[in-house]
């Protein structure tokens, strides 16, 4: 074979091999086609985001328009007010309960309250009704008053140097007998001192302060009006150290309702002064609350009236005592 023939055959073989390689290699994707796909995906994603934002804005706008309705706003205001009242009541009751165990009124007073009030608000609280389903707390108060009355009965057997005074001073070495039978049956143990039916009896007792004697008002004092308030002069009896209890505000006076003092509205002056006599029976004044309001705290101030009594609450030998009555 000539050199020219060999060269042509070699070139033909090379060309065939190159054609085979081109057929085996995968065709490269077009850059234009890829770019068009990415743009379409971005447009779709943007449309979805726009639709989502539009839906959220619509819901927000609808909620705002619903809140703007007068009736909805009124109900929201009512619910918020109720919630605030509940929170305030809970905080107040917790504060009163927590402080009742630690607070003690140590100011010397001429009036001692039974059952003993608790806490800085001087609270007497109970829920009336029959046990075991309705009433609560009042049996403890009744037991306290029952013990108080038992002390008076037990003194009858301790010391015989006791006499009926009948408005006179006792003889030397004797002390006056305080007749508890003059207290109404409504304020005795047999009637649970009125706590079961929500008409409680509260006892005011002289706290056995040695040597103190009330200086009562004369007729001239009452005429001058320098001491006893005008509304208290009616029925004043100088044989007693006069006691009066009033609600602190007009609302308290209304909620307190009518009250009854027994056996008299004051301490008999022939029980003074206290001389540490072993058979001494400190005088009592019982207050019966006939129709006190249920479910509200009633602030009450009681005062002992005499010319030598201070009505400053923090004074030494103060003639003022306060209490808060709360019947659930």
Q: What is the CA radius of gyration of the chain?
A: 46
**Is 26 contained in some domain?**
no
The residue-averaged pLDDT of 176-197 equals 93
Do residues 277 and 284 make contact, with C-beta atoms less than 8 angstroms apart? no
Residue 213 falls in which region: left (phi positive, over 0), alpha (psi -120 to 50) or beta:
beta
29, pLDDT greater than 80: no
Q: Provide the CB-side half-sphere exposure for 174 (13 A, CA).
A: 15
Supply the pLDDT for residue 14: 44
Q: State the DSSP H helix or E strand holding residue 266, giving kind and residue range, or none if neither.
A: strand 266-268
Predicted local distance difference test score (pLDDT) of residue 289? 97
* Residue 293 within any structural domain of the chain: yes
Residue 76 pLDDT level (bands cut at 50, 70, 90)? confident
Decide if 148 is inside a domain.
Answer: yes
Tell whether 46 is covered by a domain. no
* Proportion of the chain above pLDDT 70, given as a percent: 73
pLDDT tens digits, one per residue of 110-154: 999 999 999 888 999 998 876 544 555 799 999 999 999 998 887
Do 88 and 122 reside in the same domain of the chain?
no
Residue 212 shares a structural domain with residue 248:
yes
- 167, 122, 158, 197: which is closest to 263 by C-alpha? 167
Same domain, residue pair 162 and 245:
yes
Q: Given a cut of 60, is residue 2 above it in pLDDT?
A: no
Q: What is residue 284's predicted lDDT score, i.e. its pLDDT?
A: 97
**Rounded Cα distance, 116 and 144, in Å:** 8
Give a yes or no: residue 22 inside a domain.
Answer: no
Q: What is the mean pLDDT of residues 101-105?
A: 62
* Average pLDDT in the chain: 81
DSSP state letter for 284: E
User: What's the confidence (pLDDT) of residue 45?
Assistant: 64
Structure token digits, residue 315: 């004074």
What's residue 16's pLDDT? Answer: 53
Domain count, the chain: 2
Which residue range forms the structural domain that includes residue 304? 106-327
pLDDT in tens, 81-101: 888 888 877 776 666 555 555
For the ranges 44-53, 273-282, 316-325, the maximum mean pLDDT occurs at: 316-325
Answer yes or no: do 197 and 62 share one domain.
no
Quick check: is 49 in a domain? Answer: no
Residues 146 and 190 in one domain: yes
Count, residues in the chain:
328
Residues 142 and 215 in one domain: yes
| pLDDT at res. 19 | 52
Q: Does residue 113 share a domain with residue 72?
A: no
Same domain for 231 and 133: yes
What pLDDT is stored for residue 13 in this prediction?
47
Q: Is residue 195 part of a domain?
A: yes
Q: What is the pLDDT of residue 103?
A: 62
Stronger pLDDT, 272 or 9, i.e. the higher one: 272
The 320-327 sheet, strands edge to edge: 123-126, 320-327, 297-305, 240-247, 266-268
The DSSP string of 228-263 is: S-GGG-TT--TTEEEEEEEESSHHHHHHH--EEEES
Which residues, in sequence order, are CB contacts of 259 under 8 Å at separation 6+?
A: 245, 287, 288, 289, 290
Does pLDDT of 288 surpass 80? Answer: yes
Q: Are residues 79 and 174 in the same domain?
A: no
22 pLDDT band, cuts 50/70/90, is: very low
The pTM (predicted TM-score) of the whole model is 0.69
Is residue 269 within 8 Å of residue 243, measured between CB atoms? no
């Amino acid at each position: 074979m000539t050199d020219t023939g060999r060269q042509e055959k070699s070139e033909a073989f090379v060309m065939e091999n190159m054609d085979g390689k081109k057929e085996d290699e995968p065709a490269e994707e077009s850059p234009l086609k890829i770019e068009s796909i990415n743009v379409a995906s971005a447009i779709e994603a943007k449309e979805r985001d726009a639709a989502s934002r539009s839906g959220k804005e619509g819901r927000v706008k609808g909620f705002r328009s619903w809140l703007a309705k007068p009736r909805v706003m009124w109900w929201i205001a009512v619910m918020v007010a109720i919630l605030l009242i509940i929170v305030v009541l809970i905080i107040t009751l917790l504060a009163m309960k927590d402080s009742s165990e630690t607070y003690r009124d140590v100011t010397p007073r001429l009036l001692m309250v039974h059952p003993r009030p608790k806490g800085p608000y001087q609270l007497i609280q109970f829920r009336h009704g029959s046990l075991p389903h309705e009433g609560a707390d009042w049996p403890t108060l009744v037991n306290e008053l029952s013990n108080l009355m038992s002390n008076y009965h037990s003194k009858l057997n301790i010391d015989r140097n006791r006499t009926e005074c009948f408005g006179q001073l006792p003889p030397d070495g004797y002390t006056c007998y305080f007749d508890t039978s003059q207290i109404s049956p409504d304020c005795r143990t047999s009637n649970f001192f009125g706590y079961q039916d929500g008409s409680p009896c509260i006892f005011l007792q002289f706290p056995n302060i040695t040597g103190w004697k009330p200086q009562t008002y004369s007729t001239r004092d009452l005429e001058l009006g320098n001491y006893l308030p005008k509304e208290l002069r009616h029925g004043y009896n100088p044989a007693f150290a006069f006691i009066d209890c009033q609600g602190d505000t007009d609302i308290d006076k209304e909620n307190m309702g009518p009250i009854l003092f027994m056996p008299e509205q004051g301490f008999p002056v022939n029980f003074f002064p206290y001389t540490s006599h072993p058979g001494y029976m400190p005088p009592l004044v019982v207050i019966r609350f006939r129709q006190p309001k249920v479910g509200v705290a009633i602030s009450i101030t009681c005062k002992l009236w005499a010319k030598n009594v201070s009505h400053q609450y923090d004074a030494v030998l103060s003639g003022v005592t306060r209490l808060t009555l709360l019947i659930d």
